[in-house]
């Protein structure tokens, strides 16, 4: 029984839908078959007119419209098309007379209906592709069918023989009635020409006012958009300033450290000529520690300058590197490790052969350093620094005494000492 009812419903629906006009509710694909996975033949744009040839169902009982080019999904197409039968019909933002008028339709305009609804204000409303309008002022067609009968008199002649030239014996008159269907534009005949002209003038005035209102609203909208853009720009500028300020705060000086240490120089001399050089020296250094926001927690950048004084020579070292400070439970002693790279310059203050003023050229070298240490807390701002650092460089000095030649290679040094750190 259910199958028979479904068959009857389908037959009625097929007859009703044949050669009907439809409009896509959005851009849709025309498929080769009634399936989502089917091959796409072409695309139909939003509101582009489609002539529906028939209706078919897929295996999931979803209905599809058959067109000249292929199949389109039924729920993506509306066949509810109406026309405005009022001089002016406002388009609103919601289904209510309190809705804002955003545009308008004129008499005879085509309206594509997406959804019907009823509001509490007594009007029937429809949601169209442009917005909400009152359906009370819509009609399914701009024309109406007028059916009227026509009378035609026929004379039936009876003849002696089955021949048109034969003698007529008797004649009978017969009246034949024929019904003619004529389409005409819907006109309210109850109105006089003056009333119609008056309404047309009012409609033109309303149309002009509506256009003026729309222009004003567009200007207001543009002003709002400009104000919004300015607000966004101001917010972005404020955020940029905040980011810069935040960057500045996290990139300021963390602490300054002053150190004094003993340095043991590990040098090699190929042949001993002249006076033997001392390996021990005294080092003075200053180091600046910097917080940097892109480094992990408890990491610092540092830069340092070091002066080392040896017998007959001195060194100047500049270093850039990073330091990791380890947190402890008591926060009284905080160990650290550090590593850096920089430049080292070796100056000879006296000639190692004659002990007189040196004429030996200075030597420059890349400088590497790794070290360990710890800060012992004295107060809120002051710490004692205990450290051990291994330095690496490559200074080479050539000496000549008569026929004797010698090369002094300064490769590394080890230093340990104490310092005082001030925290900001």
Identify the residue with better confidence: 90 or 399.
Answer: 90
Q: How many angstroms separate the CA atoms of 127 and 297, rounded?
A: 58
In tens, the pLDDT along 315-342 reads 999 999 999 999 888 778 999 999 999 9
* Residue corresponding to tokens 């009968």: 149
In the prediction, which pLDDT does 286 show?
95
77-78 sheet: strands from edge to edge? 50-52, 20-24, 77-78
pLDDT tens for residues 220-240? 888 888 888 888 888 888 888
Whether the Cβ atoms of residue 358 and residue 350 lie closer than 8 Å to each other: yes
Q: Name the token pair of 186.
A: 């819907």
Worst-scoring range by mean pLDDT, 16-20, 60-64, 95-99, 359-363? 16-20
pLDDT at 11: 47
Mean pLDDT of 7-32: 68
Contacts of 217 (CB under 8 A, 6+ apart): 102
Arithmetic mean of pLDDT, 262-266? 86
Q: What is the pLDDT of residue 373?
A: 95
pLDDT at 247 over 60: no
pTM above 0.75, yes or no: no
Does the pLDDT at position 107 exceed 50?
Answer: yes
pLDDT value of residue 205: 74
Give the per-residue pLDDT at 365.
Answer: 93
Q: How many CB atoms lie within 10 A of CB 360?
A: 19
State how far the alpha carbon of 361 is from the alpha carbons of 123, 318, 342, 350, 407, in Å: 103, 19, 20, 11, 14
Mean pLDDT for the chain?
81
Distance CA 212, CA 335 (A): 77
Task: Confirm if 111 and 81 have CB atoms less than 8 A apart.
Answer: yes
Q: If pLDDT is split at 50, 70 and 90, which confidence band does 361 have?
A: confident
- The secondary structure of residue 194, as a DSSP letter, is H
Predicted confidence band at 385 (pLDDT cuts at 50, 70, 90)?
very high
Cβ-based neighbours of 153, under 8 Å, separated by 6 or more? 173, 174, 175, 176
Percent pLDDT > 90 in the chain is 22
Q: Is 385 helix (H, G, I), strand (E, B) or coil?
A: strand
Burial class (CB in 10 A: 0-12, 13-18, 19+), 269: middle
Give the span between the Cα atoms of 102 and 218, in whole angstroms: 10
Confidence of residue 369 (pLDDT cuts 50, 70, 90): very high
Q: How far is CA 189 from the centre of its chain?
A: 59
Residue 395's DSSP bridge partners are: 410
Of 423, 399, 421, the closest CA to residue 409 belongs to 399
Query: Of the candidates 200, 203, 369, 346, which has an alpha carbon nearest to the alpha carbon of residue 267?
Result: 346
C-alpha 342/C-alpha 317 separation (Å) is 7
pLDDT category at 245 given cuts 50, 70, 90 is: low
């Amino acid at each position: 029984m259910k199958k028979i009812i479904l068959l009857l419903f389908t037959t009625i629906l097929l007859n009703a839908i044949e050669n009907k006009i439809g409009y896509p509710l959005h851009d849709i694909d025309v498929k080769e078959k009634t399936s989502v996975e089917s091959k796409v033949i072409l695309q139909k744009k939003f509101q582009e007119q489609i002539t529906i040839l028939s209706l078919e169902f897929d295996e999931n009982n979803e209905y599809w419209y058959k067109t000249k080019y292929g199949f389109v999904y039924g729920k993506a197409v509306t066949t509810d098309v109406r026309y405005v039968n009022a001089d002016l019909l406002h388009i609103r933002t919601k289904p209510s007379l309190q809705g804002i008028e955003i545009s308008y339709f004129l008499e005879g305009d085509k309206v594509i209906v997406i959804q019907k609804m009823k509001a509490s204000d007594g009007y029937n409303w429809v949601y169209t592709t442009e917005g909400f309008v009152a359906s009370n002022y819509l009609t399914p067609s701009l024309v109406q069918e007028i059916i009227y009968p026509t009378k035609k008199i026929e004379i039936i002649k009876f003849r002696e023989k089955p021949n048109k030239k034969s003698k007529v014996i008797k004649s009978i008159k017969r009246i034949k009635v024929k019904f003619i269907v004529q389409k005409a534009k819907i006109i309210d005949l109850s109105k006089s020409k003056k009333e119609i002209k008056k309404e047309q003038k009012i409609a033109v005035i309303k149309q002009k006012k509506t256009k003026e209102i729309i222009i004003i609203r567009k200007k207001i909208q543009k002003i709002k958009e400009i104000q919004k853009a300015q607000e966004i720009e101001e917010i972005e500028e404020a955020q940029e300033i905040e980011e810069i300020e935040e960057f500045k705060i996290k990139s300021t000086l963390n602490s300054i450290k002053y150190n004094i240490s003993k340095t043991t120089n590990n040098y090699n001399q190929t042949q001993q000529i002249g006076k033997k050089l001392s390996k021990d020296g005294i080092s003075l250094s200053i180091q600046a520690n910097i917080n940097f926001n892109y480094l992990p927690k408890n990491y610092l950048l540092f830069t340092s300058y070091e002066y080392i004084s040896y017998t007959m020579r001195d060194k100047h070292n500049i270093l850039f590197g990073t330091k990791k400070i380890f947190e402890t439970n008591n926060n009284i002693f905080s160990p650290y490790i550090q590593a850096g790279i920089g430049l080292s310059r070796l100056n000879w203050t006296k000639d190692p052969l004659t002990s007189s003023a040196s004429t030996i050229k200075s030597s420059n070298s890349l400088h590497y350093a790794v070290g360990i240490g710890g800060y012992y807390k004295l107060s809120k701002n002051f710490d004692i620094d205990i450290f051990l650092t291994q330095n690496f460089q490559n200074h080479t000095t050539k000496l000549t005494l008569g026929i004797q030649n010698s090369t002094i290679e300064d490769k590394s040094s080890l230093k340990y000492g104490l310092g005082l750190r001030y925290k900001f």
